[in-house]
Homo-oligomer: A and B are copies of this chain.
């Protein structure tokens, strides 16, 4: 049973872009592994790939945590917990040569291997620690501040001694940022955008000393509002531009001359260029989680049939933290 992409979204994605497909549980051929998927990842970046990169008629490829149930590959055995690029489906066949990685359940809940101990956590680390490089006294703004990546990015900036300002899309998320995630302050960008002064006024109020790092998950109007308030040598790691994913037009970003005036750097990055040292990084992050220095929130939905609604809702911003769908029981809980 899986979820296939059957129609490319035109602008906003809709339920009818997806179709639930029923298939018998497949059997592994020579060199193949059969994985019983447990947690399926629900990620904003998938939306961009639905415009062309993902094949129509195929199950949507996503990161999954699962358990090997049958193997004709010498590396893997029934009972092994693994993660890999499988798909929005309950059972996956992994062809010879495709990669799986081990899941060490001693480091944390196995769902973490597609969240804070997986790509979202690693993305936050690379973007904030390696590209943003916040230091004591810096002002750091994080967009999508309560999300799967932003929530970790903000906490890493706080641990580096920065003053951390979150932008999120609901009052609940703003409260979560300040009360649970340790942001120094946060604002509701939807409310700010429609009030007098707009996003610029909100940033001025929350960043009286200017902005040294802007961790950009959204692009668009918030990036435009940030540019004039940058401090010299500001860094803008660009992790996502979700504000544009469902737009068919592109109004452009004004004020780019501030990049010159402030000698700022804007860097787009993809986590797949930063995979060396991954296992060592996982242990480091697991320690921060175990110590309580990083808090992480997962929203777990149930059942393969909930995948389209979980995904569409996340694009509309109704998630808090990392959204996952559990499609088979987790044997470790």
Tell me the A residues contacting B by CB distance below 8 Å. Answer: 219, 223-224, 233, 238-241, 244, 250-270, 273
CA gap between A266 and B267 in the complex, in Å: 6
Assess the B273–A260 pair: CB atoms within 8 A.
no
Q: In the assembled complex, which residues on chain B have CB atoms less than 8 Å from the CB atom of A251?
A: 252, 254
Q: In the assembled complex, which residues on chain B have CB atoms less than 8 Å from the CB atom of A265?
A: 265-268
Assess the A262–B268 pair: CB atoms within 8 A.
yes
Closest to A224 in B: B252
Partner of A264, one of B253, B264, B268: B268
CA gap between A268 and B223 in the complex, in Å: 16
Partner of A238, one of B219, B224, B260: B260
Question: In the assembled complex, how far is the CB of residue A131 from the closest CB belonging to chain B, in whole angstroms?
Answer: 9
Complex copy number for this chain: 2
Q: In the assembled complex, which residues on chain B have CB atoms less than 8 Å from the CB atom of A219?
A: 256-257, 260
22 contacts across the A-B interface (CB closer than 8 A): A219-B256, A223-B256, A238-B260, A240-B260, A244-B257, A251-B252, A251-B254, A252-B253, A252-B254, A253-B256, A258-B268, A260-B269, A262-B268, A263-B267, A263-B270, A264-B267, A264-B268, A265-B265, A265-B267, A265-B268, A266-B266, A266-B267
- Using A259-B238, A266-B259, A268-B260 as known contacts, say yes or no to A250 and B244 having CB atoms under 8 A apart: no
CA gap between A170 and B219 in the complex, in Å: 36
CA gap between A267 and B264 in the complex, in Å: 6
Question: In the assembled complex, how far is the CB of residue A306 from the closest CB belonging to chain B, in whole angstroms?
Answer: 29
Assess the B263–A269 pair: CB atoms within 8 A.
yes
Question: In the assembled complex, how far is the CB of residue A89 from the closest CB belonging to chain B, in whole angstroms?
Answer: 27
CA gap between A240 and B267 in the complex, in Å: 19
Closest to A269 in B: B263
CA gap between A256 and B254 in the complex, in Å: 11
- Using A244-B257, A254-B251, A256-B219 as known contacts, say yes or no to A273 and B263 having CB atoms under 8 A apart: yes
Q: In the assembled complex, which residues on chain B have CB atoms less than 8 Å from the CB atom of A256?
A: 219, 223, 241, 253
CA gap between A252 and B255 in the complex, in Å: 7
CA gap between A238 and B254 in the complex, in Å: 16
Assess the A250–B241 pair: CB atoms within 8 A.
no
CA gap between A267 and B233 in the complex, in Å: 9
